Structure 1
Amino acid sequence: MLDDLNILIVEDEAIIALDLSMILEERGATVMGPCGTVEEAVAAVDPSLHVAILDVDLRGQTVFPVADRLRQIGKPFVFHTGRYDTNALRARYGEDTPVLVKPAGDTAIVKALAQARAQAADDPR
């Protein structure tokens, strides 16, 4: 389902980042990162990226600069959060912004990333 996709993981918890990496690689994706800070993640945003999964709270900083950069270059993303207000995320990034609440299962993660990528590919912008 994720064959040949380059997926950026932005997650500051090493165990969760490793788990996400394994889930995505098992389904054919190439993992970029994982990045544990906003600075690392902004630097990792690359034209070869297809989609990203973003933890919202990175060591006390929000991931918004990364999401803003991704949006600026037309790359889709999925928020993956355990603490942040999902309504606030959708208010800032739009009602159609995918938000997964931790712990999200493997199937939900894969499906959300695949759908975000497909929707971006269909978007004429």
Structure 2
Amino acid sequence: MADAGLEGCRILVVEDEYFLADEIATDLREAGAVVVGPVADLDGALALIRGGSSLDGAILDVNLRGEMAFAAADLLIERAVPFVFTTGYENTAVPVRFDGTARCQKPIDLRRVARAIGRVLRH
């Protein structure tokens, strides 16, 4: 996955499924990224985003233990941090304000997620 363009990038991983979060983090590290988290809930995500450490990007699961992650997405936008949604939901479940946000449908292809975050970081 070295072609993902993530070398040295600090990527926040927000995912409530433990094994999936671990796989995403492992793949990102293999691509040279510095993984922040992973965190499994909205409060943890908000704390890390507000925490003052710089983030280059984020991978954000839409549904975190029954709580929608849109507040975290709004905060990432406010701080100009590009991100990718992962979701098992239909596009209509995501508010219109996020229409331009890259999405990876679950079950996710880990290489596709790495490529997607790489693309949003380059733009």
Fold similarity call, TM over 0.5: yes
Gaps of 5+ in 2: none
Mapped to 2, the partners of 1:9 and 1:54 lie a distance apart of 6
Partner of 1:26: 30
Q: Residues 73-125 of structure 1: CA distance to partner in whole angstroms, max 9, x if unpaired?
A: 1111100012x22244262313x210100122122111100011111xxxxxx
C-alpha distance in structure 2 between counterparts of 1:108 and 1:87, whole Å:
22
State the partner residue of 2:13.
Answer: 9
Cα shift readout 1:22-67 (whole Å, capped 9, x = no counterpart): 1100000000001111000001014510000001110110000100
TM-score where L is the length of structure 1: 0.88
| Aligned partner of 2:90 among 59, 63, 85 | 85
Structure 1 residue runs of 4 or more that deviate by more than 6 Å after TM superposition:
none
Q: Equivalent pairs: percent with the same residue? A: 38
Q: Relative contact order: is structure 1 or structure 2 higher (C-alpha 8 Å, sep ≥ 6)?
A: 2
Aligned residues: 117
Question: Structure 1 residue 35 and structure 2 residue 39: aligned?
Answer: yes
Q: Write the mapping of 1:36-115 to structure 2, written as runs, cut at 5 A.
A: 36-45=40-49, 46-82=52-88, 84-89=89-94, 91-94=96-99, 96-115=100-119
Q: TM-score, normalized by length of structure 2?
A: 0.89
